[in-house]
Amino acid sequence: MSAAFRRGITFCAGLVILCFGIVLNTKTGLGVASINTTPYTLSEVEGISLGTATMLLYFVFAGAQCLLRRSLGWKILLQVPMSILIGRIVDFFNDYVLTFQAQGLADGLLLLCGAIPLTAFGTTLVVQTDLVPAAPDGMVRAFGDALGWDFGRAKYTFDIIMIVLSAGYALVRTGHTVGIGIGTVAAALLTGRLCQLFGRLLAPWFESCLAKAS
């Protein structure tokens, strides 16, 4: 199996795992993943599908990267069709696969223990293969580059910012927060650290693929 093929397969697997983890987190009943608080809030407040809200937010992230980097690279441009694809995958998992909700605290915690590592693992695969980043990951990387931070630290900080913005939007529109709970806090605290861990564990794989495929 060629390095380029392994790289492509790793990227595609990461994309699917990431979307699965994001949607799984919405089923816990304990609060959605930190990066998903804004699209989930938009979906619930404005009455649009989760995938559509995700796609619209990702368009905003792609535009913000242009401003941070002061350029319009092909990796940013390709985030537009990729955002549409992610939106459709999210709706597919949400509407046809993960059609349940946790029925109690124990169920919610169990789902959360799967959702957070899956989201972090998928994120790491997509980012480290260095093909087309998902718009939030590209945004986090641009944010981190602007501040001179590594990806894990930048993601941790960016997740906190997203939670605050989502809470503020929901409070203004409805008078209460939407989709924010202990699961949101856990995701914000753990996802970035898990990305760092997975990045270190899989570093030889990523370096091999990138070196041979370049």
| Per-residue pLDDT tens digits of the chain, which is 214 residues long | 678 888 889 999 999 999 999 899 989 989 888 778 889 999 999 999 999 999 999 999 999 998 888 877 787 888 889 899 999 999 999 999 998 999 889 999 999 999 999 999 998 898 888 788 778 878 888 888 888 888 778 877 887 888 888 999 999 998 888 888 888 888 878 887 898 899 899 888 888 777 754 4
Q: 198: which 2 tokens?
A: 């997975």
The predicted structure's pLDDT at residue 212:
58
The predicted structure's pLDDT at residue 210:
77
Region for residue 51 given its phi and psi (left: phi exceeds 0; alpha: psi -120 to 50; beta: otherwise): alpha
Distance between CA atoms of 172 and 9, rounded to whole angstroms?
43
The predicted structure's pLDDT at residue 107:
92
The predicted structure's pLDDT at residue 32:
87
User: Which of 11, 5, 1 shows the shortest CA–CA distance to 202?
Assistant: 11
The predicted structure's pLDDT at residue 214:
47
The predicted structure's pLDDT at residue 1:
67
Name the pTM for this structure. 0.84
